[in-house]
């Protein structure tokens, strides 16, 4: 029997998952998204093109891979249709290579409106949501009134849509928020036709059959562990379980079939939206990192907040996910800095700890840093050829986190990826 490997982000999202899924995809028969929705923006760059995928799994550009949008995902028909349109020039046989779970929850136009109305009402306590309707859709799922993708084939789909819409309109009466969904509804029903033209299946059977048939499955996470609904910096989190356990729920795979857990992290930290960020660099230092790393959101274009690597947070993520291999991204961004810092602990009430408190914000603590030197630009194509200062940085993280760094990324392109000799997926 084959196994399901999981690839996920260990920080606050935007670690570079799209690039790595695309890089590893040829080793897999199935690539499946298990949570999140169009709040994600997975960026892939190759052959002079830059693609940003929000809903479609990042294995889509490879022949012979089946891409699955799993039951744990929230799917917006509008965004899905836009993405399908954008992929048309690339002549991919999408109907053959992409299937949708009949149990994935559907984002309807009023979910997006609710997201905006809720955020506006929060004033200075905003989550900094991507406003893609993610939270309200997961809310409806848990409240057991959501629409599922498989419902598009039910004879009373339009009636069910009206019911949930009217429910949302009643809520919206309590908010001082103006909107008009006439155009959005037109686009929505148009997009529903596109959804109907795809295979809508009980994908849990398909994935378990793939395991039985000895096929290799890669579960592609979205967002990052520090945005997990249970373990992230609550309430400044997304509304799904972004950690490895979410792959079991979000695809219908039993824990016994999970193999490798690939944890992706940046050589530094970023965060988009509000919420605590202990190692954040303010002012010019943060600006410098933002410019060097081109840190602007792939989905919203918002500038990302930037800061040093936070090892206690990384250790926490590795523990929650059971990470077996680490992939470090964007090492090139720090290359020409005079000093690169890493936070290795927090000092609270006279004691040093690397355990995260319940609230990261408002905590009376001091961060403890170790300083490294920038390693200089490199075009190395093997681990041995990496600058010794970078190898020192890598060794320190491995020793602290107790997991091996097997891939180092030195740029956005597929070819700017360095593998440890022993690495096999
Ligand atoms: P939501 O998931 O759109 O409700 O946003 C909740 C929080 O998660 C906000 O702080 C967002 O900026 C953040 N977030 C959601 N999706 C992503 C992502 O894919 N990358 C980075 N941050 C994200």
C-beta separation of 417 from 406 below 8 A = no
Of residues 5, 14, 140, 151, which has the active-site annotation? 14
CB atoms within 10 A of CB 230: 13
Supply the pLDDT for residue 414.
83
Q: What is the tens place of the pLDDT at every residue in 181-218?
A: 999 999 999 999 999 999 999 999 999 999 999 999 99
Supply the pLDDT for residue 196.
98
- The mean pLDDT value for 56-77 works out to 95
Say whether 62 is catalytic.
no
Supply the pLDDT for residue 425.
66
Q: Which two tokens stand for residue 173?
A: 């009466």
How sure is the predictor about 167, in pLDDT bands with cuts at 50, 70 and 90?
A: very high
Supply the pLDDT for residue 301.
85
The answer on pLDDT for 364 being more than 90 is no
Supply the pLDDT for residue 421.
77
C-alpha to C-alpha distances, 73 to 141, 222, 304, nearest whole angstrom: 11, 10, 24
DSSP state of 361: T
Cβ partners under 8 Å of residue 266, min gap 6: 11, 14, 15, 16, 293, 309, 328, 329, 330, 333
The three-state secondary structure class of 64 is coil
Query: Which ligand 1 atom is at minimum distance from the Cα of 129?
Result: 5
Backbone dihedral angles phi then psi of residue 392, each to the nearest 5 degrees: -65, -45
Mutate to test the pocket of ligand 1, among 273, 300, 361 (most ligand atoms within 8 A of CB): 273
Q: Cα–Cα distance between 396 and 143 in angstroms, integer?
A: 46
* CA 409 remoteness from chain centre: 17
Of residues 5, 22, 42, 54, which has the active-site annotation? 42
Say whether 42 is catalytic.
yes
Q: Which two tokens stand for residue 159?
A: 């009636």
Mutate to test the pocket of ligand 1, among 13, 107, 221 (most ligand atoms within 8 A of CB): 13
Burial of 62 (0-12, 13-18, 19+ CB in 10 A): middle
Residue nearest to atom 15 of ligand 1 (CA): 39
Distance between Cα 233 and ligand 1 center (Å): 12
Residues with CB under 6 A from ligand 1: 12-14, 39-41, 127-130, 132, 134-135, 222-223, 227, 236, 238-239, 272-273, 275
- Residue 282 φ/ψ region, left for φ over 0, alpha for ψ in the -120 to 50 degree band, beta for the rest: beta
Give DSSP secondary structure letters for 209-265.
HHHHTT--EEEE--S-GGG-TTTSSTTSS-SS--STHHHHHHHT--GGGEEEEEEEE
Residue nearest to atom 12 of ligand 1 (CA): 273
Q: What is the tens place of the pLDDT at every residue in 3-26?
A: 999 999 999 999 999 889 888 999
Supply the pLDDT for residue 1.
58
Distance between Cα 271 and ligand 1 center (Å): 9
Mutate to test the pocket of ligand 1, among 17, 38, 238, 360 (most ligand atoms within 8 A of CB): 238
Q: What is the tens place of the pLDDT at every residue in 44-56?
A: 888 888 889 999 9
C-beta separation of 16 from 221 below 8 A = no
Query: Which ligand 1 atom is at minimum distance from the Cα of 41?
Result: 19
The answer on pLDDT for 223 being more than 80 is yes
Q: What is the tens place of the pLDDT at every residue in 253-269?
A: 999 999 999 999 999 99
The answer on pLDDT for 76 being more than 90 is yes
Give DSSP secondary structure letters for 154-215.
STTHHHHHHHHHHHHHHHHTTS------HHHHHHHHHHHHHHHTSEEE-HHHHHHHHHHTT-
- The mean pLDDT value for 92-110 works out to 97
In 3-state terms the chain splits into helix, strand, coil percentages (rounded to 5) of 35, 25, 40
- The mean pLDDT value for 22-42 works out to 94
How sure is the predictor about 349, in pLDDT bands with cuts at 50, 70 and 90?
A: confident
Residue nearest to atom 5 of ligand 1 (CA): 129
């Amino acid at each position: 029997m084959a196994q399901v490997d999981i690839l996920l982000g260990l920080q606050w999202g935007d670690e570079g998952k799209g690039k790595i899924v695309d890089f590893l995809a040829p080793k897999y028969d199935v690539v499946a998204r298990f949570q999140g929705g169009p709040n994600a923006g997975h960026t892939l760059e190759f052959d002079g093109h830059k693609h940003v995928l929000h809903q479609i799994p990042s294995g889509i550009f490879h022949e012979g891979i089946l891409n699955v949008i799993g039951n744990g995902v929230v799917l917006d028909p509008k965004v899905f249709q836009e993405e399908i349109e954008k992929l048309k020039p690339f002549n991919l046989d999408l109907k053959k290579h992409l299937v949708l779970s009949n149990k994935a929850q559907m984002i309807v136009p009023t979910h997006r409106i609710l997201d905006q109305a809720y955020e506006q009402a929060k004033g200075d306590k905003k989550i900094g949501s991507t406003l893609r309707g993610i939270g309200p859709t997961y809310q409806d799922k848990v409240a057991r009134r959501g629409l599922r993708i498989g419902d598009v084939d039910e004879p009373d789909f339009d009636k069910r849509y009206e019911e949930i819409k009217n429910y949302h309109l009643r809520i919206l009466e309590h908010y001082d928020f103006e909107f008009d969904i006439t155009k959005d509804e037109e686009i929505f029903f148009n997009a529903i036709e596109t959804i109907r033209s795809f295979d809508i299946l009980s994908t849990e059977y398909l994935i378990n059959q793939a395991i039985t048939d000895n096929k290799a499955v890669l579960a592609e996470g979205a967002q990052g562990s520090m945005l997990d609904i249970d373990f992230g910096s609550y309430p400044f989190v997304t509304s799904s379980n972004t950690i490895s356990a979410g792959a079991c729920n979000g695809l219908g795979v039993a824990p016994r079939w999970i193999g490798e857990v690939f944890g992706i992290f940046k050589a530094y930290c970023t965060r988009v939206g509000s919420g605590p960020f202990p190692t954040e660099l303010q002012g010019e230092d943060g600006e410098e990192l933002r410019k060097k790393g081109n840190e602007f959101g792939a989905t919203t274009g918002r500038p990302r907040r930037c800061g040093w690597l936070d090892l206690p947070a990384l250790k926490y993520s590795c523990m929650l996910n059971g990470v077996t291999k680490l992939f470090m991204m964007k090492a090139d961004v720090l290359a020409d800095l005079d000093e690169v810092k890493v936070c290795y602990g927090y000092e609270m009430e006279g004691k040093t700890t690397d355990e995260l408190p319940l609230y990261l914000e408002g905590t009376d603590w001091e961060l403890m840093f170790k300083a490294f030197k920038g390693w200089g630009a490199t075009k190395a194509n093997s681990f041995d050829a990496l600058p010794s200062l970078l190898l020192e940085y890598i060794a320190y993280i491995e020793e602290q986190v107790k997991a091996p760094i097997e891939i180092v990324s030195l740029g956005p392109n597929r070819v700017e990826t360095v593998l440890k000799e022993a690495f096999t997926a």
